[in-house]
Amino acid sequence: MLIELVLLMTTVVLARFGREDFFHALNFPGRLTGAVLLAVSLTTLVGAAAVLDHWIRHCFSYSGLVALVGTFTALLANVMLLLTTWNDGDSTFYKVVFSVLAAGSAAATYFVWRTSVMVPTPKHVAAAVIIPSVIAVANYGYQNLWHPNERETSPVITLSVGKAVLSKDRKAFAVPVDITLENRGDRSFYVLGSEFHAMAQQVSVSPKGRLRQQWRKDADQWTKPSEVNPLSRWEIHQPGELVEAKPWIDFGQWIESSDTFTTRVVAQLPLNTPYDQVTFYATASLARKDRLVLEPPLNFLTKSWGGKNIPEWVKKQQQKEKDSDFLVYRARVREDNAIDEYTRDARYVTVYWRFGAHGASVASSIARLGDEGRIPSSTEQRKTNNRYGLTDLTTGPYVQNLWDIKTQR
């Protein structure tokens, strides 16, 4: 019987998704979705038994009503899953499955209704149908409308630069820098990548006040993100040069809610350095632990010099900035709920660690294999960032003048 087949298939699918979400979803809405799906699967299973009694055995006087409730519940669930799959899913198989089940459950509801089902207390039955429907629709709206746009919480990076110290032979000095990652919110985060870098500059002082033409020349440098120096009447800034760059926290680590991570890095320079200032920066690329599962480890994949499988945009970036090089890392990403995990193609996070004479940076993206080299539109990027809770943290510039240490002998 077609109605029986539709209800049993719906029961199997919903029970499979519901069980995994109820026990393994990463957040409360996912667990709630799992509980709703399990309840609906139980309803459709009871509905399947009621269909047999309604058409064949006639042992229970209200079996037609139970069958109607079961088929309508199956219709509502299948339509919701179909909308979710068409909106976010990649799997053609599941799009076909939910389309067939939605159409089948609609037909089943119609055929059961046509059998003149006896409804003893219409108000009670209407409440029994409407209340679960409202809960299901509200949960669907939360998952797909509000949840991606809820107010984000992000950790904060702070830098604390210590006093420069001379070496024993008084030919070099070191500047200690403490980097702190403080998670003040109630969400935990994966650290996909991090970088600390120090830029040094020669900053001479003009004997005469610098006027409009010099300021325009300085402002022309603002078109280069790595060269944003102040417009000064007396200071003459030369282009900054990278003196040190390194990750300051291991890739793939995480910071729990209300937790703090602190580390110290040291930048060393010769005492006779021509630089007058050194500027420190620290950045990190994060992803929320309640939006994805990062399958360890985050492995090194390739490099921009002599490596293979280099994304096209990296090659173009190297052509644009001749001194830029990249290290590329990758790991598998799991979705935060069973529905997305089954209906979406596998996603991978790719981390790009860039360094060059004029600075360093770290960036990450999440995409299917083969799409990581494609530059997404701003809308696509915003949607991906919302789905996985991606955020980039930056602190700096923190400028340290070197005149005091260089004058020591």
User: Taking phi first (over 0 means left), then psi (-120 to 50 degrees means alpha), and beta for anything else, what does residue 52 get?
Assistant: alpha
Q: Residue 97 corresponds to which tokens in the numbers above?
A: 């499955």
pLDDT tens for the chain, residues 1 to 409: 688 888 899 999 999 999 999 998 888 878 888 888 998 899 899 888 888 776 776 666 667 778 888 888 899 899 989 988 998 888 999 999 999 999 999 998 888 877 755 555 555 455 555 555 555 555 555 555 455 545 556 799 999 999 999 998 889 999 999 999 999 888 899 999 999 999 999 988 888 888 888 888 888 878 776 667 788 888 888 888 999 999 999 998 999 988 999 999 999 999 989 999 999 999 999 999 989 999 888 989 889 887 777 887 788 777 777 788 999 999 999 999 999 999 999 999 999 999 988 889 999 999 998 887 788 888 888 889 988 999 999 998 899 998 888 887 6
HEC letters along 125-177: HHHHHHHHHHHHHHHHHHHHHHHHHCCCCCCEEEEEECCCEECCCCCEEEEEE
Please tell me the number of Cα atoms within 13 Å of 8 on its side-chain side.
8
Task: State residue 142's pLDDT score.
Answer: 55
Q: Which residue type, as a one-letter code, is found at position 368?
A: R
134 near 80, Cβ under 8 Å? no
Strand partners, 178: 160, 264
The residue to which tokens 């667990």 are assigned: 31
For residue 193, what is the enclosing H or E element? Answer: strand 189-201
Q: Is residue 13 a contact partner of residue 94, using CB atoms and an 8 Å limit?
A: no
Of 85, 90, 111, 96, nearest to 7 by C-alpha is 111
Show the tokens assigned to 39: 């309840």
Side-chain-side CA neighbours of 279 within 13 Å: the count stands at 20
DSSP classification of residue 239 = P
Q: Write the CA distances from 208 to 211, 230, 236, 237, integer angstroms.
A: 9, 17, 11, 15
Q: What span, in angstroms and rounded, lies between the C-alpha atoms of 334 and 294?
A: 6
Q: Are 25 and 334 in contact (CB under 8 A)?
A: no
C-beta of residue 252 within 8 angstroms of C-beta of residue 298:
yes
Nearest to 321 by CA among 229, 226, 396: 226
State the pLDDT at residue 58.
Answer: 64
AA identity, residue 232: S
Most distant pair of Cα atoms in the chain: their distance? 105
Confidence (pLDDT) at 31: 87
- Quote the CA–CA distance of 113 and 128 in Å, as a whole number: 17
CB-based contacts of 407, cutoff 8 Å, min separation 6:
none
